[in-house]
Chain A
Amino acid sequence: MNMENWDSIQKALAERRHDVPSDQYFSGILSEFHSRQRNVAFVQKSLVDRLIESIKDLWFFQPARLIQGAAFSLIVLFFTLNGLHESWSEGSETLTNWYKGDASSENQSSVQEQFMISSAMDQLGAASLNRPAELASISTVAAGVDRTQYVMNSTPATYDAVVAF
């Protein structure tokens, strides 16, 4: 082969144009191009954009779920406000009646019952501690003091203060 023959050199050069892979390789070019295009677009997006997109992708950010969530919130809010309104109305009515002194017999009996129970508890507590009932609800423990003195109706009263309650 005469290498100095320029025609043969040019022909050899022109053959190099076909130095490409088979058609099978090129059948996947488009899909790979689209895939790389998406990757590049994703990378080029700013961090803020990506954050917004991530938030949008959260399950509750879908319109249907957003509507469901809003409806549920409204229902909960309605019942909460309704309950608050009712308890407020009831409370203010009781208070008004109390001040006016014309509380219903039902309320009066309820208050009396509470006083009776409280008094009975005081008696029981005093008996178990061996001290006057009027002092039963007072905490009397002091560090380093084994005996505590109380004054009741100007008369000193004592009891063993070793028990704390």
Chain B
Amino acid sequence: MELNNADLGEPTDLELVSRAQAGEARAFDFLVLRYQKRLYSVIYQITRHHQDTEDVLYETLIKAHGNLKGFKGNSGFHTWLYRIAVNRSLNFIRLRKTNREISIHSGDEEGEGFDIPDEGIVNEVEQQENRSELQKKLNESLARLSEDHRTVVNLFDIQGLSHSEISKILGCSEGTVRSRLHYAHKLLQSYLKDAKKGDR
């Protein structure tokens, strides 16, 4: 079933949410179409793996649809949706990391197939020969950031969200977001400097 904007007359997020809450399945489908790319991007920047991103994306959409009745409109719908996506992505990579550690401790050779997020990012860098030099260095530098710092960089610098929106998504104060962001930027610059020195 193909949906287009004219079909629903470009309604706002809140209108679509109200209609979806009232049981109109097409309204939620329209929201999916509206946010699918942005959600994919947010999730991919955390998992750095397309198949994992796909799984988390569907999990996010199913979770959002299931909890739609609980959405009160206190924040924007996209903020609410991003929050679900970020939480699920972070849970996913934590679980992936735990599985990896368990595999290593138990001597399970098959476990070597798991991707540790940081290592995954480094491997990704190695695979992307056609990327610009700066992007490669950026990948390496982002991989060295902590989970919290990488998340704020993802939401602010990559996705272009405001401090206020990020604070709602992460459930922390705007001050904390600013602080994390400032520190993350400093670290990034420092890591990129190191990378430049290493090239010489």
Using CB atoms and an 8 Å cutoff, list the residues of chain A in contact with chain B. 1, 3-4, 6, 8-10, 12-21, 26, 29-30, 32-33, 36-37, 40
Cβ-defined contact, B137 with A3, below 8 A: yes
Cβ-defined contact, A6 with B41, below 8 A: no
Q: How many residues of B contact A (CB 8 A)?
A: 34
Question: How many Å from the CB of B69 to the closest CB on chain A?
Answer: 15
Cβ-defined contact, B62 with A33, below 8 A: yes
Cβ-defined contact, A16 with B158, below 8 A: yes
Using CB atoms and an 8 Å cutoff, list the residues of chain B in contact with chain A. 1, 29, 32-33, 36-37, 40-41, 44-45, 50, 57-58, 61-62, 65, 132-135, 137-138, 153, 157-160, 185, 188-189, 192-193, 195-196
Centre residue among A3, A14, A37 by max chain B CB count within 10 A: A3
Alpha-carbon distance A29/B35, docked complex (angstroms)? 11
Cβ-defined contact, B188 with A17, below 8 A: no
Residues of A within 8 A of B40 (CB): 20-21, 26
Cβ-defined contact, B135 with A12, below 8 A: yes
Cβ-defined contact, A12 with B41, below 8 A: no
Tell me what chain A mostly uses at the interface: helix, strand, loop, or mixed.
helix
Question: How many Å from the CB of A161 to the closest CB on chain B?
Answer: 84
Residues of B within 8 A of A9 (CB): 134, 138, 188-189, 192
Residues of B within 8 A of A32 (CB): 58
Alpha-carbon distance A76/B188, docked complex (angstroms)? 86
Residues of B within 8 A of A13 (CB): 138, 153, 157-158
Cβ-defined contact, A17 with B159, below 8 A: yes
Closest partner residue, chain B, to A40 (CB atom): B62
In the A-B complex, the 7 residue pairs with the smallest Cβ-Cβ separation, listed nearest first, are A13-B157, A3-B192, A36-B58, A16-B158, A3-B196, A20-B40, A12-B134
| CB-contact partner of A36 in B1, B62, B193, under 8 A | B62
Alpha-carbon distance A104/B132, docked complex (angstroms)? 117
Residues of A within 8 A of B192 (CB): 3-4, 9
Closest partner residue, chain B, to A27 (CB atom): B2
Q: Contacts A3-B195, A4-B192, A13-B158: A26 and B134 contacting too (C-beta < 8 A)?
A: no
Alpha-carbon distance A26/B158, docked complex (angstroms)? 20
Residues of A within 8 A of B29 (CB): 30
Residues of A within 8 A of B137 (CB): 3
Question: How many Å from the CB of A25 to the closest CB on chain B?
Answer: 9
Alpha-carbon distance A26/B1, docked complex (angstroms)? 14
